[in-house]
Structure 1
Amino acid sequence: MDTKNLTAPNTTITYNRDALTAPTGNMYEAISIIAKRAEQINTDVREELVEKLEEFATYNDSLEEVFENKEQIEVSKFYERLPKPAAIAVEEWLEGKIYFRDTSSTES
């Protein structure tokens, strides 16, 4: 996931309800699709963060010593400033980047 070129807002904004429901025609279905995508984004970002923090990890047998690693702190701050996964998912939805299919209609 390209975390540097995200266009999602960092703050709460109001979305046009008609724009959200346009692809499916149903608000609940649209929210369900957006929520599933937000979970995927959250998982990807979490895995990416853990990988980057593992690079700076120092393993000691002593629990008394706690080291503050500036690189780890900077990486953590960067990920804290990212937009929330739900905001990213809504932006992807509005831009038409999320693929979904209607499984309720049966074709014979």
Structure 2
Amino acid sequence: MMDLKKTTAPVNTVTYDRNQVDEPTENIYEAISIISRRAEQINTEIKKELIDKLEEFATYNDSLEEIFENKEQIEVSKFYEKLPKPHALAVQEWLTDKIYFRHTEEEDAQ
């Protein structure tokens, strides 16, 4: 799991050098496909982490069968709302060589 508090991924839109993005694969479409898959993984991790943290603070009221939000839940939600988007985190990981990928077609052919 990544440390979301220490991320330096941009929160706003950034223009990247295409040559830098496709350098590891020499194919921009393959690079984007890998980044996209990683962004989906990051999104799933963040969503699971958020739900787990919110459930820690949940208080259930049996009479109304309703879940009341408290201040802790609101603070946790605000923290996650301010995070960079999963695609920005994935692009940052890609550009800093933190994403492992391999060509499965080449391995199958051998």
Q: What is the match of residue 53 of structure 1?
A: 54
Instruction: Please identify which structure carries the higher strand content.
Output: 2
1:82 and 2:104 matched: no
Gaps of 5+ in 1: none
Deviations for 1:30-59, whole angstroms, at most 9, x for unmatched residues? 000000000110011111101100011011
Cα distance in structure 1, aligned partners of 2:38 and 2:80: 18
Q: What is the match of residue 72 of structure 1?
A: 73
Q: What amino acid is aligned across from residue 69 of structure 1 in structure 2? A: N
Q: What is the match of residue 36 of structure 1?
A: 37
Identity within the alignment, %: 68
Verify the 8 A CA contact 2:35 2:87 in the aligned structure 1. yes
TM-score where L is the length of structure 2: 0.91
Q: What amino acid is aligned across from residue 85 of structure 1 in structure 2? A: P
Please state how far the C-alpha of 1:66 moved relative to its aligned partner.
6.5
Aligned length: 108
Cα distance in structure 2, aligned partners of 1:43 and 1:66: 23
Cα distance in structure 2, aligned partners of 1:83 and 1:15: 16
Superposition CA RMSD, Å = 1.6
Please state how far the C-alpha of 1:65 moved relative to its aligned partner.
6.5
Please state how far the C-alpha of 1:67 moved relative to its aligned partner.
3.5
Higher relative contact order (CA 8 A, sep 6+): 1
Verify the 8 A CA contact 2:59 2:67 in the aligned structure 1. no
1:4 and 2:18 matched: no
SS in 1 for 2:6: coil
Q: What is the match of residue 16 of structure 1?
A: 17
TM-score where L is the length of structure 1: 0.92
